């Protein structure tokens, strides 16, 4: 971060604004909204500032800036149209160790003022590091429309019960879980509707009946193909509520940044013949963590029920009586095809699509070859990079033409995405030559030849493809 975000309590604290124009007026209003004791230094004031000074709302020093005026100030704003004066204010603040903001000049400021969404006591601050304040204001406008004024009432309501909840729940995790259930349930609904009496009654009921021991649960969450923008709202919400997150190699690092910061993260990555934790150990780990009362998110690339071993995991959870939920995600095949510009079905080329794994539990490739080699069909192979030669040879041996177009999509939907095309005959060499590694998907079928025309996200690295007439 270029700037460390912080909220300062300025009620009754002395703050200085240098300048008496419209820009200075905006800063004075902001400081006054925080109940700061504001002094304005300027030879002239706009009408509203004069009125404030006349009413005793601010103190006016009639004259030009000098460094001595910073003595005892907690915060300073330079809002003149003379950069020499602004530089002098910034330098005086640096020498005296007082934060100074020079309006629209982040290079000489020691702090910047963010765009603010005020739902007091809930306050949201947005910043672009002073580089593009218009963008911050645009985002603020969006948040203003998304966050009703009632959230301010909800924050105030919760604050009234803070000490009682803390006394009721000695365990920090139990306290957090209780608050999350309150802030998303009937209590919050009543507060948002302005029915304080009903909210208080429901809160009292919750406090009287709450169990100190939290109830654990496991959530199998589909993380999608890699791009954080492709997460579902439900997935994001659970990731930000989890106590523990189990993740593997297929979960992009950018996705982990969305997990609650104080959640425990456990890597349980699996690659062919190289498991950080065997599947059975992962299953038992989820059971143990849930039995400890923790909320566990099992974060899976793509969709939990599409070659994600989700079925095996929830069988174990069900056998131990652990509450669970499955949150679907965009499966990797859909994401890779869409971002590579390869339609999985097309009226002219493919009337069906088949998803298949590149190797079975015993690492064999003894697949249903008659079904996989049908004409006018697209085949998507998961986990097939390491067995690409055996797979392509088997496709050809079972009647699929060697010149059938084929593609491999690596790190689909992310900034690292690469798509390389070839044929069934050339694909193994293509994968080796380009150094393609997992996570990657193989797509086989006539639809692949559309990639050159329809690709919109990343360029296609094409190998010679012979197209059948």
Q: Which option is the CATH number for 333-462: 3.40.50.300, 3.40.190.10, 3.30.950.10, 3.40.50.720?
A: 3.30.950.10
Q: Please state, in angstroms and rounded to a whole number, the distance separating the CA atoms of residues 60 and 43.
A: 9
Q: Please state, in angstroms and rounded to a whole number, the distance separating the CA atoms of residues 290 and 218.
A: 7
Binding-site entries for S-adenosyl-L-methionine: 225, 301-303, 383, 412
Strand partners, 352: 377
Vertex 218: Cα angle to 214 and 220 (nearest 5): 155
Within 13 Å, how many C-alpha atoms sit on residue 5's CB side? 11
Q: Please state, in angstroms and rounded to a whole number, the distance separating the CA atoms of residues 80 and 113.
A: 16
Peptide bond into 121 cis (omega under 30): yes
Domain ranges of the chain: 14-113, 150-209, 217-330, 333-462
Q: Please state, in angstroms and rounded to a whole number, the distance separating the CA atoms of residues 185 and 178.
A: 11
Is residue 7 classed as helix, strand or coil in its secondary structure? coil
Looking at residue 333, the DSSP 8-state letter turns out to be H
At the fourth CATH level, the homologous superfamily of domain 217-330 is: Tetrapyrrole methylase, N-terminal domain (3.40.1010.10)
CATH number of 14-113: 3.40.50.720
Stretch (H or E) spanning 192: helix 186-192
Give me 334's structure tokens: 């859909």
| pLDDT in 10s for each residue of the chain, 469 residues | 888 999 999 999 999 999 999 999 999 999 999 999 999 999 999 999 999 999 999 999 999 999 999 999 999 999 999 999 999 999 999 999 999 999 999 999 999 999 999 988 999 999 998 788 889 989 988 888 778 788 899 999 999 999 999 999 888 878 888 898 888 778 888 898 889 999 999 999 889 887 656 668 899 999 999 999 999 988 998 898 889 999 988 888 889 999 988 899 999 986 554 556 888 999 999 999 999 888 899 999 999 999 988 999 999 999 999 999 999 999 999 999 999 999 999 999 999 999 999 865 556 678 899 999 999 999 999 999 999 999 999 999 999 999 999 999 999 999 999 999 999 999 999 999 999 998 999 999 999 999 989 999 877 776 654 444 3
pLDDT digits (tens, 9 = 90+) for 265-304: 999 986 554 556 888 999 999 999 999 888 899 999 999 9
Residues with a catalytic annotation lie at 248, 270
Q: Which option is the CATH number for 150-209: 2.40.128, 1.10.8, 2.30.40, 1.20.140?
A: 1.10.8
């Amino acid at each position: 971060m270029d700037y460390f975000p912080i909220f300062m309590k300025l009620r009754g604290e002395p703050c200085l604004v240098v300048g008496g124009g419209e820009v200075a007026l905006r800063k004075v209003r902001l400081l006054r909204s925080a109940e700061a004791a504001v002094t304005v230094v300027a030879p002239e004031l706009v009408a509203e500032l004069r009125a404030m000074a006349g009413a005793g709302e601010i103190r006016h020093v009639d004259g030009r800036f000098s460094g001595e005026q910073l003595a005892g100030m907690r915060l300073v704003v330079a809002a003149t149209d003379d950069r020499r004066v602004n530089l002098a204010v910034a330098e005086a603040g640096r020498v005296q160790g007082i934060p100074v903001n020079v309006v629209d000049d982040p290079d000489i400021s020691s702090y910047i003022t963010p765009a603010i969404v005020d739902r007091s006591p809930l306050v949201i601050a947005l910043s672009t590091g002073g580089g593009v304040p218009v963008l911050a204001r645009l985002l603020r406008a969006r948040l203003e429309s998304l966050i009703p004024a009632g959230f301010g009432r909800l924050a105030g309501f919760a604050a009234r019960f803070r000490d009682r909840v803390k006394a009721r729940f000695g365990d920090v995790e139990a306290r957090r879980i209780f608050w999350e259930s309150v802030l998303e349930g009937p209590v919050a609904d009543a507060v948002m509707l302005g029915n304080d009496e009903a909210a208080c009654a429901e809160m009292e009921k919750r406090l009287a009946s709450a169990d100190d021991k939290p109830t654990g649960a496991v959530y199998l969450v589909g993380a999608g193909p890699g791009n954080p923008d492709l997460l579902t709202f439900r997935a994001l919400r659970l990731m930000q509520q989890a106590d523990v997150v189990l993740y593997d190699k297929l979960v992009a690092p950018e996705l982990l940044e969305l997990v609650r910061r104080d959640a425990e993260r456990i890597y349980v990555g699996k690659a062919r013949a190289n498991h950080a934790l065997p599947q059975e150990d992962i299953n038992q780990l989820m059971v143990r963590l849930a039995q400890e009362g923790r909320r566990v998110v099992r974060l899976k690339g793509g969709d939990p029920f599409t070659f994600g071993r989700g079925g095996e995991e929830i069988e174990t959870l069900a056998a131990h009586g652990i509450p669970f939920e499955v949150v679907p995600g965009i499966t990797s095949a859909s994401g890779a095809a869409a971002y590579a510009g390869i339609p999985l079905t097309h009226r002219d080329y493919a009337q069906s699509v088949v998803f298949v794994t590149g190797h079975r539990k015993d690492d064999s490739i003894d697949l249903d070859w008659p079904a996989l080699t049908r004409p006018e069909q697209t085949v998507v192979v998961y986990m097939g990079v390491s067995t690409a030669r055996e797979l392509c040879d088997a496709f050809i041996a079972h009647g699929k033409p060697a010149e059938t177009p084929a593609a491999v999509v690596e790190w689909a939907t992310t900034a690292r995405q690469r798509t390389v095309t070839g044929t069934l005959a050339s694909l193994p060499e293509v994968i080796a030559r380009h150094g393609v590694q997992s996570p990657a998907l193989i797509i086989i079928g006539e639809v692949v030849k559309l990639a050159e025309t329809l690709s919109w996200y990343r360029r296609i690295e094409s190998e010679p493809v012979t197209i059948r007439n």
